[in-house]
Amino acid sequence: MRVGIGYDVHRLVRGRRLFLGGFEFENSEFGLEGHSDADVLLHALMDAMLGAAGLNDIGHYFPNTDEKYRGIRSTELLKKVKEEIEQKGFKICNIDMIVVAEYPRLSPFIDKIKQTIANILDIKLEQIGLKATTEEGLGFIGAKEGVCAHAIALLEKVK
């Protein structure tokens, strides 16, 4: 059994589509700034999975200096990370994640986000933990300037 942890943060900006956990928040006033779709939740999850497998971080595999990743959906990157860990002989036991945000309000979308991730990773909903919290108005997240996510992944060596 191997465990990995991931963290990511992105600034909220006007004029971008908002993706969290592969789910698009339609008609959102703000989106996350980044080279890809800036999905902080999937970025943290990918780093947790890669770390548990003893691999490099997502910046190594998908550098923000490579134009082929500009605007790419992080769901596509997560599929590639899943393939990487499987090639190393690992399968996912469970994942647990926390999104820290004042905006958007996540609680109505938790189940949809979990289902999106379960579909991509081909795991059961029971293998996914997802919580949302705020910073109670403190710091840059409390000021609605950004969103961060933490993730942990437990992998099992099967090959």
Encode burial over 48-60: b for 16+ CB neighbours within 10 A, e otherwise. bbbbbbebeebee
Q: Do 31 and 17 contact (CB within 8 A), yes or no?
A: yes
pLDDT per residue, tens digit, the chain (159 aa), is 999 999 999 999 999 999 999 999 988 899 999 999 999 999 999 999 999 999 999 999 999 999 999 989 999 999 999 999 999 999 999 999 999 999 998 999 999 999 999 999 999 999 999 999 999 989 999 889 999 999 999 999 997
Residue 9's domain comprises 2-157
- Identify any residues that bridge with 147 across adjacent strands, giving them in sequence order: 10
* CA atoms of 130 and 67, how far apart (whole Å): 31
CA 45 – CA 28 distance, rounded (Å): 23
Give the CATH number, domain containing residue 88: 3.30.1330.50
Cis before 104 (ω within 30)? yes
Greatest C-alpha distance within the chain: 47
Domain count of the fold of the chain: 1
